[in-house]
Amino acid sequence: MDIATLGGIGAALAAVIVANLLGGGNPLQLVSSAVPPLLCVFGSFAASMAQYPLSVTTGLPKLFAKAFFKGHENMSESVEALVKMADKARREGILSLEEDAKKIEDEFLRKGVMLVVDGVDAAQVRRILEMDVHNMHERHLHGIGYMNGAGGFSPTMGIIGTVMELIVLMQHLDEPEHLGHGIANAFLVTLWGLAAANLIFLPIGGKLKANSEEEVVFRNMLIEGILSLQAGENPRIVREKLSTFLPPKARVGEAGEGKAAGATA
């Protein structure tokens, strides 16, 4: 689980609750009516649903899972796996990777290695894999747009709810004892709209975007590694090349391991 996403949203919600308490409010009053969540959460999802195919809506559970769980392998581990394959391919030939490729869990990496083993031209391998990455990113954009769309609709749905509540309130001006409660309920819907957008929808949309960009980098790294296998490059060169995709701290560690391995060889 990605603690940053869950912790960030939880901390933001906690900040709202604490601020409400410090202002003399009662947090239970924020959830005292079914109107705000109905309009601002369900209504926002429904409005966003109108923009995308039904498959995007039915995939919402998987979409939320992607925001809270990392779905791809560790990049450092993948670098090591590719370096080992490069070493084997250099010593025993590219065809020696056929059995190893069948055991690779990552579908994208397995596909790329099998293309190389099958003797597909390097330019064609790159074209196929880059198309795969492009189409993956396009699919991700649907989910990102869905959440950002809900984040855009939510404040407006809150205003709609507030106007509805005020219209009802105006019909009972002859009951002044209910005015304060009615106005509070009206603004509660606006609060829910703003909170749902800025504490849930937009943060999740942003996290999905960050995860998608990270996965694009990850797959581009795999492409370079796969093509290095096909070119028969020295494992040490493969390590140095792929390490450029890693954060500086991890990159230094990987390079150090590579030099140590070279010194003992």
Average of per-residue pLDDT across 12-27: 92
- pLDDT per residue as tens digits for the range 27-67: 998 998 899 999 999 999 999 999 999 999 998 888 888 88
Average of per-residue pLDDT across 249-258: 54
Question: Which tokens in the block code for residue 16?
Answer: 């709202």
Question: Which tokens in the block code for residue 147?
Answer: 């959440």
Q: How confident is the model at residue 174 (pLDDT cuts 50, 70, 90)?
A: confident
Question: Which tokens in the block code for residue 77?
Answer: 């581990």
Name the burial class of residue 263, with classes exposed (0-12), middle (13-18) and buried (19+) by CB atoms within 10 angstroms of its CB.
Answer: exposed
Question: What's this model's pTM, rounded to 2 decimal places?
Answer: 0.83
Nearest to 115 by CA among 234, 210, 223: 223
Nearest to 192 by CA among 65, 32, 64: 32
Average of per-residue pLDDT across 75-94: 92
193, 195, 196, 200: CA torsion to nearest 10: 160
Mean pLDDT, the chain, whole residue set: 89
Q: How far apart are CA 107 and CA 187, in angstroms?
A: 50
Q: How far apart are CA 218 and CA 235, in angstroms?
A: 19
Domain that holds residue 138: 3-264
Q: Which of 27-41, 65-79, 108-122 has the lowest mean pLDDT?
A: 65-79
Q: Is 90 exceeded by the pLDDT of residue 69?
A: no
CB burial readout 153-181, b (16+ within 10 A) else e: bbbbbbebbbeebbeebeeeeeeeeeeee
Overall number of domains in the chain: 1
Q: How far apart are CA 265 and CA 259, in angstroms?
A: 10
Q: How far apart are CA 198 and CA 15, in angstroms?
A: 13
Nearest to 218 by CA among 69, 75, 109: 75
Q: How far apart are CA 178 and CA 180, in angstroms?
A: 6
Q: Long-range contacts: 5-11, Cβ < 8 Å, 24+?
A: 5/67, 5/68, 5/203, 5/204, 5/207, 6/68, 8/203, 9/199, 9/200, 9/203, 9/204
Residue 134, C-beta contacts closer than 8 angstroms, at least 6 positions apart: none
Q: Is 50 exceeded by the pLDDT of residue 256?
A: no
Beta strands in 41-95 (DSSP E): none
Transcribe 218-239 into DSSP letters.
Answer: HHHHHHHHHHHHHHT--HHHHH
In one letter, which amino acid is 240? Answer: E
